[in-house]
Amino acid sequence: MKIAIVGAGAIGGFMGMRLARAGFTVTAIARGATADALRRHGFRVDSGGERISVPVRVATDAAEAGAQDVVIIAVKAPAMAGVAPMVAAMLGEDTVVVSAMNGIPWWFGAQLPVLGGARPLESVDPGGRILAAIPATRVIGCVVHMAASVSEPGVVRHALGQRFIVGEACGAATPRLVGVADALRSAALDVDVSSAIHRDIWYKLWGNMTMNPVSALTGATMDRILDDPLVSRYCLAVMAEAAAIGRAIGCPIEQSGEDRQQVTRALGAVRTSMLQDVDAGRPLEIDALLSSVREIGQRVGIATPSLDALTGLARLKARTLGLYPG
């Protein structure tokens, strides 16, 4: 199996290392310092007190990599418009695209009739250009539950977790889904196969759509956000709106916001991925985590005043830092 990793950061680098170590033919699509580091040292992952290094083929041009059996996309959502043509260049007749990304992906509404079927979500795919390059029929959704960061180009610091939920948008247990799941399991990853991947995506989003932007606004770790009663109550209001939207689109949340916050509290003083992006001067995933939920709410007729305020504040903060367009 030929597997390309698009986005050799924390998630992509970890998955790529495991897959390469398991014997798959892995190509990392990378540029700049990351490409240089991968060429010199291969994938490097610091985990459990040891450093694991595995050689990998590196391509700066996706066309150079050629058609792949599987393309794993592990980039931040703001990069997708630029990445889509690269992915398209690696699509053979039966290539499968695995989207291992935060928030609402470009293909989310394509097989949900309540959202207009093939009508794209403008907040994450303006004009449907990504969907045109990477059709939803190519995609297997992947929800990642792990904590990792990039300590320097080409080096992943793995903190905890390695759980991956994969599923077809249509919910079917197709041969290609079984093949992807088996490949990930052979790479010593914890894999669950889902018949409702939209619901799994929505549940993870519901859990991190408040912590991420509030941390970016305040610079606070998750424990401090939850320790402030006014802020934690506001987060619960946003989560209640998102839960109502989830029910309307067939993605109900079977947990209270308070219980979810207790799960978050157990993680301790975590610096969220969006706060890390602020510190590093990287574009923020506001549209995938917030704007897309507002757009879906508008389509199903659910008002989101708390979410509207959070989206506006996060967007303004990002624009003042030059980390969001407009």
**In which residue are the tokens 């190519």 written?**
138
Rounded to the nearest 5°, which phi and psi values hold at 89? -70, -15
Q: How far is CA 174 from the centre of its chain?
A: 23
Locus of tokens 């066309």: 63
Contact in structure between 270 and 310 (CB atoms under 8 Å): no
Residue 275, token pair as written in the block: 């706060």
CA atoms of 252 and 161, how far apart (whole Å): 25
* Nearest-angstrom CA–CA distance, 3 and 244: 38
**9 SS3 class:** coil
Active-site residue (options: 2, 76, 204, 317): 204
C-beta neighbour count of 234 within 10 angstroms: 17
Instruction: Give the DSSP per-residue string, 242-278.
Output: HHHHHHHTT----S-HHHHHHHHHTT-S---HHHHHH
Residue 86 CB contacts under 8 Å (≥ 6 apart), including other chains: 6, 29, 62
CA angle 216-162-148, nearest 5°? 35
For 182, the token pair is 């088996």
| Dihedral sign (CA 296, 326, 150, 106) | positive
317 classed as catalytic? no
Residues 13, 156 contacting (CB under 8 angstroms): yes
Q: How far apart are CA 233 and CA 235, in angstroms?
A: 5
Among 79, 77, 126, residue whose Cα is nearest residue 104: 77
Catalytic residue numbers read 204
